Amino acid sequence: MEYFILHFLIMICLYIILGLSFNLLLGNAGMFSIAHAAFFGVGAYATGVITRDLGINFFLALPITFVIAGFIGVLLAIPVLRLSDEYLVIATLGFQVIVYSIFMNWERMTGGPEGLAGIPKPEVFGFVFESQWSYFVLSLCFTALCFWIVWCIQESPFGRTLKSIREDEVCSQALGKDIVKMKIIVFMITSALASLSGGLYAGYVTYISPYSFNLHESIFILSIVVVGGIHKIYGPLIGAVVMVVLPELMRFIALPESVAANFRQMIYAGLLVGFMMFRPEGLVGRGRMEEEKE
Amino acid sequence: MDLLLQLLVNGLFQGFVYAIIALGFALIFNTTKIFHLAHGAVYTFSAYMTYLFLVVFGIPLIPAVICSMILSGILGALIEIGFYRPMRRWQSSLLVILIASIGLLIFIENGIQLIFGSDMKRLASGMLHATHVGPVTITSLQWATLILGFSMFAALYLFLKYAKVGNEIRAITNDPEVGRIIGIDADRVYLVTMVIGSAMAAPASACICYQTGIHAFMGFHVVLIGAIAVIIGGVGSLIGAGLGAMLIAVAENVGIWKIDSNWQAIIAFGVLFFFILFRPTGFFGHRIWKMKV
């Protein structure tokens, strides 16, 4: 039982990091992308390949992963920057599908559908993060770090500019803000943060396969953010807890495994629809009335 | 060379199926401005209904497809009345409705899998008589899609041009505000649009039943192709959407010639990115990256 609880706590930490970074994109910059699982996967694969095949320490591999994921984020940002709303959704969705295909088919690097096995656990000065407890502490530290980074970004002039872009792109352009540069930077930061979660995931499960980074995962990350609350930094925290724990409660109802998978998906899809209909600002978001007053 | 020609022809015929989906999607998107990704679920639903009527109840093909059209029209109406209409009333932003639409898509797809199981359903293709035109082989199923594609397009065109409701749809598409001022019931127009667009998915999905078989999660890919077709064809243009769908289908099929079939899923998005980068105005000169106001 302790094993399961710690497992959930670790997964919640990873999803909080993903939610926080996605929130930077959606909540702060108002850019709606469905490609977050792709960056999650890029982080996992990059860390996996670097630590396993090149034998580089996990903590040295993470910065390299950041650079790779940040670079890929910029690659995505440049063509899709000019797009708005629905077009951005479709283009990032396309990016997600393309990256997933690369995970599936670039067998020499990613191992194809069989995935990447035998990724070493993180190790620092001879201490290996082997036990569940140590890994939980490690991911908690990284989550706190992420939280701090995102908070700093939100409070900085850069964060305020992002908000102004969200509210009125033309107006902030007129005030002399280089919105193209801002958007590229925010894409870079969110993809780097998402890859951090991916790296932690690879080090935790030690076996990764493309199926963990598909389109549904992207939508799941999206649902974490919108259920938690888009504009608040606490939103993804609450969202990750709710969205990870709630479907797992289904395990206590004895359902055959084939049915249970569909049921869990239906629950989270239902939550997504329900929140969008009745409380689009999420659990901790400001109500509509408060929004109008400002 | 013969192979290339055959693939090109296959692509063109596949294009008719995609074009029907893209037409339904474009009709709904142009009129209601909702990016109706749940259309993929309607498409999957209609395929399973056709399968149900044909195989389980043993009804002949054409009545089965008509029944399935009616049912998917009803599903479209339920989505409109149950979800989109209240959200429009509460002035939800279009992005919020889009997310809800994705949620609906996943919900319905999983519901279908729960009921029908996860195995691939396929209809016996007794109707596949091949005709040879020069070096190219064309099956009777492909001829059927050709006839279906053209007749659906013609019917939609005539409906929008001459029927009273069709005119109302075009008016609301052009300018909802003015449409309301001259006394058109916009809610009713949206409902009719959803019903027609959804019903159009049924014949296309029946073709897919024979061609490749159906499974519960096939809708996402198809609705994405519809969405990409709308974007590269230029928003607001039904012919553009049809042509966009044709182009994607041809690219997907001809792609098999040189590209490993594992990569086939990304060809449609490759076409999309090509258009975004090099021809952002679409076929007919509408700008891709800003919505027509």
Instruction: State the DSSP H helix or E strand holding residue B168, giving kind and residue range, or none if neither.
Output: helix B164-174
Inter-chain CB proximity B266 and A98 less than 8 Å: yes
Q: Which among A86, A93, A273 has CB closest to B103?
A: A273
B276 interfacial to chain A (CB closer than 8 Å): yes
C-beta of residue A19 within 8 angstroms of C-beta of residue A237 = yes
pLDDT tier at A285, thresholds 50, 70, 90: low
- Tell me the two tokens of residue B169: 């749809």
Which of A82, A94, A269 faces B106 most closely, judged by CB atoms? A269
Average pLDDT in the B71-93 region?
91
| pLDDT per residue as tens digits for the range A18-49 | 999 998 888 777 788 888 999 999 999 999 99
Amino acid identity at B9:
V
Query: Does B256 score more than 90 pLDDT?
Result: no
What is A22-84 written as a DSSP string?
A: HHIIIIIS------HHHHHHHHHHHHHHHHHHS---HHHHHHHHHHHHHHHHHHHHHHHTT--
Tell me the three state secondary structure of residue A208.
strand
Q: Which residue of A has its CA nearest to B224?
A: A90
Nearest residue, CB atoms, A83 vs list B94, B224, B289: B289
- Spatial neighbors of B87 by CB under 8 A, at least 6 apart, are A276, A277, B96, B97, B100
pLDDT at B289: 45
Which residues in chain B have their CB less than 8 angstroms from residue A280's CB? 92-93, 96
Q: Tell whether the model's pLDDT for residue A287 goes beyond 60.
A: no
- Among chain A, residues having any CB pair with chain B shorter than 8 Å are 32, 79-80, 82-87, 89-91, 93-95, 97-98, 101, 104-105, 215-216, 219, 222-223, 226, 258-259, 262-263, 265-266, 268-273, 276-277, 280
pLDDT tops 50 at residue B9: yes
**How far, in Å, are A28, A150, B240 from residue A155 at the CA level?**
11, 9, 45
Closest Cβ–Cβ partner in B102, B224, B272 for A219: B102
Distance of residue A276 Cα from the nearest chain B Cα, in angstroms: 6
Q: Best mutation site among B106, B263, B277 for testing chain A: the one with the most A CBs within 10 Å?
A: B106
CA-nearest residue of chain B to A271? B103
